[in-house]
Amino acid sequence: MEQETARERVLDAAEGLFYGRGIQTVGMDAVRTSSGVSLKRLYQLFPSKEDLVEAYLRRRDGAWLHRLAAHVEAVPAPRERVLAVFDWLHDWFAEDGYRGCAFVNSFGELGATSPAVARAARDHKEAFLQYLEDLVTAAGLPRRLGAAVGLLAEGAITTSAISGSPEPALRAREAAATLMAAAAPRVTGAA
């Protein structure tokens, strides 16, 4: 039980520090101080900083996708669920401390030198794309439209981080609605 508590404290501290300040600027000593876990215990739990970064990203992936799905699944209409992704993104972008996508940020910092970080970032992006493709298919639209919706979402995430505004989510939502409307006649016309 103590091990899990210490592990969670370390991951909580790492997430706050890595997301807020960047991975390369945060040393293991800062994680130790923030978590209240001894440096010896920290290295028992995570033998290297790369191990800690990968664990942080894997945990964030699950939590991020869960939060998104909980919001989207509360929307009853399948086509509106696709658009609800952008409503959720808008809310996320408006949160205090929003710094863009942790996976893009991590990949930008370490992707060229850390295969584990690159893999975690790719896995997250693939899972997000799969989720969007599933939403689009459930809405009766061509699966390939999920990739376009994904590009809109990814563009909104990056643009919002740089601009400091949640508005890119609304523009991306409008574009997704336009793409869905354009795809819908072909689907019904083919039936």
The one-digit pLDDT tens for each residue of the chain (191 residues) are: 556 699 999 999 999 999 999 999 999 999 999 999 999 999 999 999 999 999 999 999 999 999 999 999 999 999 999 999 999 999 999 999 999 999 999 999 999 999 999 999 999 999 999 999 999 999 999 999 999 999 999 999 999 999 999 999 999 999 999 999 999 865 554 44
> CA angle, 19 as apex, 165 and 13 as ends, to 5°?
140
pLDDT of residue 127: 98
d(CA 50, CA 117): 8
Closest to 117 measured CA to CA, from 66, 34, 48: 48
Q: Is this prediction's pTM over 0.85?
A: yes
pLDDT of residue 3: 61
d(CA 186, CA 191): 9
d(CA 166, CA 149): 17
pLDDT of residue 102: 97
